[in-house]
Amino acid sequence: MLYHLITYLDKLFDFPGSGLIQFISFRAGLAMILSLIITTVYGSRLINYLRYKQVGETVRNLGLEGQVQKQGTPTMGGLIIIAGVLIPTILLARLDNIYVILMIITTVWMGCIGFLDDYIKVFRKNKEGLAGKFKIVGQVGLSLIIGWTMFFHPSILVRQTVSEVPAVVKNQNAPKAGLKEQIINEKGEKLIRVEKSNGVYYAKDVKSTITNIPFYKNNEFDYAKVLKFLGDDYEKYALVVFLLFVIVIITAVSNGANITDGIDGLATGTSAIIGITLALLAYVSGNTIIADYLKIIYIPNSGELVVFAAAFVGACIGFLWYNAYPAQVFMGDTGSLTIGGIIAVFAIMIRKELLIPVLCGVFLVENLSVIIQVSWFKYTKKKYGEGRRVFLMSPLHHHFQKKGYHESKIVSRFWIIGIILAIITIVTLKLR
């Protein structure tokens, strides 16, 4: 909003300093600062309001240390995170950018699902909250919106090299007066002339379902080629394959974040680390020079996502001010489902979703610990008549609590693991 307003006023009055708003790094910095102010200053007011309305957490007795003290702690604090993300984004990001629009939709959509779940738990006194099948329906619905838009929207493109020395003709109707000539090849396609130290090559922005593969030299994988065994018509089913991958990724990551949110500050701090990494990945993917140097997919206009990522990181860090041990507020499903959805959709849009198992390794392990525990219990109960467990309790963080580790130590060590995984993720940009 402010971006468009200042740009418009600059055209009318040409006031000094207005050009700063054009820089993504400047707006990202402002977005993070504003997000921190919103979450820390106004977060306390929301906490007091939630406490006044007796919107408290009902903690099931799992025999864990400190559970009694947590009883009645305000929940639905994810509203603080949502406000800290949306307000700076709306004010400072370009609202005509399809990537920003999709991230706003994701935040609101997942926030509504989480809010409904918390509302049922708190006000309807139903400890189970929103039925799991309805959560899945909501996650799949968002996945279909994201996947369909990415597949068909004309502004969501990737840049691909045509050839080193193509046969081209210069467009006779190209604009003059200092503007670059448009170059059109023999097929009538508009080409982009890219000058490098080792020569000149031509590229074009195209619709594609390709994505980056980590640790692989020619790191581009096309979802459509999953069905290549069907014959020459396999590309007709590219949309189906792409949508299936998007559904799996968004559902898995949002549920993983939800499961990780079990002890004070764990999901919040881990998500902040992931957010910083995604901001860096979005910046290099949206910068044609850096993307070419790293030999990753250049995604036009995706650099604007850095502003959103900065707001997201600021919101997580600001919320951590109140969510660190001992927590004054819990994010609830309002926050955890939103955080997971944001991370998943963000990674998909910058074509780095195959890095999620590494970057979101903490979420993955937490998810797997639950799957392993439940599966093994059911299997042993059926085979031996008595259910057996792999962990003392799942998710994994509760296993360590049962072993006697303090919450703060568990969270700190999970953060350290998250930082290591973030570094590994960044290293994959060059290590192939």
Nearest to 201 by CA among 163, 173, 235, 238: 163
In DSSP notation, 103-120 reads: HHHHHHHHHHHHHHHHHH
Contact of 105 with 160, CB cutoff 8 Å = no
Surface-to-core class of residue 72, CB atoms within 10 Å of its CB (0-12 exposed, 13-18 middle, 19+ buried): middle
The helix (H) or strand (E) run that includes residue 193 is strand 190-196
Within 10 Å of residue 360's Cβ, how many Cβ atoms? 29
Q: In the numeric block, which tokens belong to residue 136?
A: 């899945």
Sole residue written with tokens 């006044």: 52
User: One digit per residue, pLDDT tens: the chain, 432 residues?
Assistant: 787 777 777 777 776 667 788 899 999 999 999 999 999 999 899 888 888 877 766 665 566 665 556 777 888 999 999 999 999 999 999 999 999 999 999 999 999 999 999 999 888 888 888 988 999 999 999 999 999 999 999 999 998 877 644 555 455 454 444 434 557 766 666 777 776 656 677 788 888 888 988 877 666 788 888 777 777 777 778 888 999 999 999 999 999 999 999 899 999 999 999 999 999 999 999 998 898 888 888 999 999 999 999 999 999 999 999 999 989 999 999 999 999 999 999 999 999 999 999 999 999 999 999 999 999 999 999 988 888 999 999 899 999 999 999 999 999 999 999 999 999 999 998 887
Contact of 196 with 203, CB cutoff 8 Å = no
The HSE-up count of residue 90 (CA atoms within 13 Å, CB side) is 10
Q: How far is CA 357 from CA 37, 90, 276, 340, in A?
A: 32, 30, 16, 13
Q: How far is CA 198 from CA 115, 164, 194, 285, 430, in A?
A: 54, 11, 11, 22, 20
Provide the residue ranges of all domains of the chain, joining segments of one domain with +: 2-153+238-427, 158-206
- CA dist 180 and 120 (Å) reads 59
- CA dist 139 and 256 (Å) reads 13
Annotated binding-site residue numbers: 258, 333
Contact of 118 with 333, CB cutoff 8 Å = yes
Residues 6+ apart with CB under 8 A from 288: 159, 194, 298
**Amino acid sitting at position 113:** I
β partners of residue 192: 203
Annotated binding-site residue numbers for Mg(2+): 258, 333
Q: How far is CA 328 from CA 50, 123, 274, 413, in A?
A: 11, 20, 23, 22
pTM of the model: 0.91
Confidence at residue 267, expressed as pLDDT on a 0 to 100 scale: 95
The helix (H) or strand (E) run that includes residue 413 is helix 407-427
Q: What is the dihedral of CA 376, 414, 276, 220, to 10 degrees?
A: -40
φ, ψ for residue 205, nearest 5 deg: -90, 125
Within 10 Å of residue 57's Cβ, how many Cβ atoms? 19
Nearest to 251 by CA among 136, 81, 92, 329: 136
